[in-house]
Amino acid sequence: MYTGKWLRSGLNLALAILLLISCEKQNPLAGPASTGPADTKTTNNLLPPPPPPPFPPPTIRIWLVGPNLPIRNGWGRFSMGSFALSGQGYFVAGGIMDATHVQGTSTDVICFNPATGTWSQKAAFPGYARTGMASFAVNNLGYVCTGVGTNYSTATKETWQYSPIQNFWSRKASLPGPARSYGVGVGLNGMGYVGTGTTNAGGEDGGLTDWWQYNPTTDSWTAKRSMPAIRGRWGAVAFANDQPGGKAYVGTGVDWPFYGPGLGDCNEYDPVADTWTSMPSLPAGTPGRMYAVGMSLADGGVVGTGYNGYNYTDFWEFSFTTKTWSKMADIPGQRFLAQGFTIGRTLYVGGGLYGPGDTPPTAMNDFYSLYW
């Protein structure tokens, strides 16, 4: 009698346990086991959390090949003026060279549109053909200043302004200082700046340290404090932090009369205080150089390529905030006297010469971009 009672009780308990297990297995809203303490159970977030968003696409950190520079009869280009206006980049005049190393100069103006990835011809430069110009952009107008004529014949003080809206060149006030070539130019806070350079091809008559400010509103030049150097330089680069309170930077090049290894220094110009401050040079082990490319980004300046007995492919970024240098991607192809411009966070570099040591140089017409 008692045995049957306990048997029936055990069977009922087993059925109840099986029913409970079955209900839990069939409940679609049953949440996952708690990952918290053993005596707690998660009651919110009954549905599993959504998967994490996909990783953002990797930033491209390599140079991409673009359409070659427009050339005539196989001529490559080098030592051009350059600026970026209204989201498009311009190369102005400069040297040309054919496959047999015959050199000449050009008045061509070519424009690159990154939206279409194409080059177009613009109004020709109205001054005489030249290389070694200083160039800059201010208030969406491009400027080309100084330079030297065909076969390094005559240096000039001329200044020309280009309007992208009118596709028209206008002659402006000439630089008051000595005629020169291979100086630097940069736009900063609504003003243009030009300085350094050589008064004769190759620097036989000395390099320069002077620094001039151009006011486009009054079309006038003002002498500013010269660079703090006992020797002049040419073949340098310049870039700027074109923001309120920003500074301009000049570095590299070659000094006179020593013609020694290319310089690797960097010097900061404060336009408000009209003072120069020495900044860290290119990192130890990085060659000094002349005829490099200098460009400006929103948060740093860029220096790359150049010549110092050899041709270089390396690029370096100088941080406006930390005042330090960091390595960038190398560009395909060694070169010097190339030219470049920036549009947004993209660098564009093209042309130049290749020829280490006393080797006759070869002109290039390739073109690359790097998103940084």
C-alpha–C-alpha distance, residues 93 and 109, integer Å: 6
Of 80, 109, 111, the C-alpha closest to 94 is 80
- For residue 345, the model assigns a pLDDT of 95
The answer to whether 127 and 179 have CB atoms below 8 angstroms apart is no
The answer to whether 348 and 89 have CB atoms below 8 angstroms apart is yes
User: In angstroms, how far apart are the furthest CA atoms of the chain?
Assistant: 128
Least confidently predicted of 3-17, 77-91, 128-142, 257-271: 3-17
Of 244, 238, 242, 237, the C-alpha closest to 299 is 242
Domains of the chain: 80-371 (2.120.10.80)
- For residue 366, the model assigns a pLDDT of 97
C-alpha–C-alpha distance, residues 64 and 247, integer Å: 30
Token output for 202: 């190759």
- For residue 10, the model assigns a pLDDT of 45
C-alpha–C-alpha distance, residues 307 and 309, integer Å: 6
Q: Is 57 left (phi over 0), alpha (psi -120 to 50) or beta?
A: beta
What is the DSSP code (8-state) at residue 9? H
Query: Of the ranges 71-85, 305-319, 354-368, which is most confident?
Result: 305-319
In this model, does residue 40 exceed pLDDT 50? no
% residues pLDDT > 70 (the chain)? 81
For residues 203 and 243, which has the higher predicted lDDT (pLDDT)? 243
pLDDT confidence tier of residue 357, bands split at 50, 70 and 90? confident
The answer to whether 308 and 285 have CB atoms below 8 angstroms apart is no
3 state SS for 60-114:
CCCCEECCCCCCCCCCEEECCEEEEECCEEEEEEEEEECCCCCEEEEEEEEEEEC
Q: Is 147 left (phi over 0), alpha (psi -120 to 50) or beta?
A: left
Average pLDDT over residues 197-222: 85
In this model, does residue 334 exceed pLDDT 70? yes
- For residue 261, the model assigns a pLDDT of 76
Of 225, 212, 220, the C-alpha closest to 183 is 212
pLDDT confidence tier of residue 59, bands split at 50, 70 and 90? low
In this model, does residue 302 exceed pLDDT 60? yes
CA distances from 239 to 65, 136, 193 (A): 24, 10, 10
The number of helix segments (H) and strand segments (E) in the chain equals: 1, 28
The answer to whether 109 and 126 have CB atoms below 8 angstroms apart is no
Average pLDDT over residues 77-92: 97
Least confidently predicted of 209-223, 327-341, 344-358: 344-358
- For 98-116, write each residue's pLDDT tens digit: 988 888 999 999 999 999 9
- For residue 87, the model assigns a pLDDT of 97
Q: Which pTM value belongs to this model?
A: 0.83
CA distances from 166 to 72, 84, 141, 145, 179 (A): 26, 15, 11, 20, 29
What is the DSSP code (8-state) at residue 371? E
What does DSSP say about strands 362-363 and 353-354: parallel, antiparallel, or unpaired? Answer: antiparallel
For residues 3 and 54, which has the higher predicted lDDT (pLDDT)? 54
Average pLDDT over residues 134-161: 93
pLDDT confidence tier of residue 56, bands split at 50, 70 and 90? low
CA distances from 138 to 45, 61, 193, 323 (A): 57, 29, 10, 25
DSSP string, 282-307: SPTTPPP-BS-EEEE-SSEEEEE--B
- For 151-167, write each residue's pLDDT tens digit: 777 899 999 999 999 99
Average pLDDT over residues 21-47: 41
In this model, does residue 25 exceed pLDDT 50? no
